[in-house]
Amino acid sequence: MYYAVTIATLITMALALVRALVGPTIYDRLLAANMFGTKTVLFLSVVAFLYGRPDFLDLALVYALINFIGVIAVLEFIRERVDSDVSEKSAGE
């Protein structure tokens, strides 16, 4: 029964990768990367449990925490770009 979940997760990772490759805007790609991250956490948890190694769950925990930081970094990047564009425009007027 665990193999069914693992195969479903791997197929979803492939589908997310297709969206990351195709997606017209960068937000589509970022959405796909975030989804890929949570699927990796689930894949690592299931396989770590399946092979009887609870130590390896630390890996899934690190990933669940770090995945978040990439999306926040993109939000900050976009906010900074919009702010500097707005202030350049208002300084030029």
Partner 1 sequence: MTMAIDILSWLLLTAGGAFIFIGGLGALRMPNLYTRMHAASLTDTMGAVLVLGGIMLQAGLTLATIKLAIILLFLLLTSPTASNALASAAILSGLQPKEGPVNRAGRSE
Partner 2 sequence: MIIILFGVFLLTLLVITALAIVRSDSLFAAVILTGIFSLLMAANFFLLDAADVALTEAAIGAGISTVLFLGALALTGEQERGGSKKRLVALGVVTVTTLIVIYATFDKPRFGDADAPVHQHVGSWYLEKTPELIDIPNAVTAVLGSFRGYDTLGEVFVVFTAGIGVLFLLSARTARRPKDIEAGDEPDQGLRHYLVPRVVGRMLIPFIFLFGLYVQFHGDYGPGGGFQAGAIVAASVILYALLEGEGAALRALPMGVLKWLVAGGALLYGGVGVASMLLGSNFLDYSVLASDPIAGQHIGIILIELGVGITVTGVLLCVFHAFAARGRV
Judged by the rule CB under 8 A, the positions of this chain that interact with partner 1 are: 1-2, 4-5, 8-9, 11-16, 18-19, 25, 27-28, 30-32, 34-35, 38-39, 41-42, 45-46, 49, 54, 57-58, 60-61, 64-65, 67-68, 71-72, 74-75, 78-79, 81-82, 86
Told to check if 45 binds partner 2 by CB under 8 A, we report no
Among 1, 4, 21, 91, binds partner 2 (CB under 8 A): 21
Burial label, 64 (beta-carbon count in 10 A; 0-12, 13-18, 19+): middle
Tokens at 64, concatenated: 């669940």
Told to check if 82 binds partner 2 by CB under 8 A, we report no
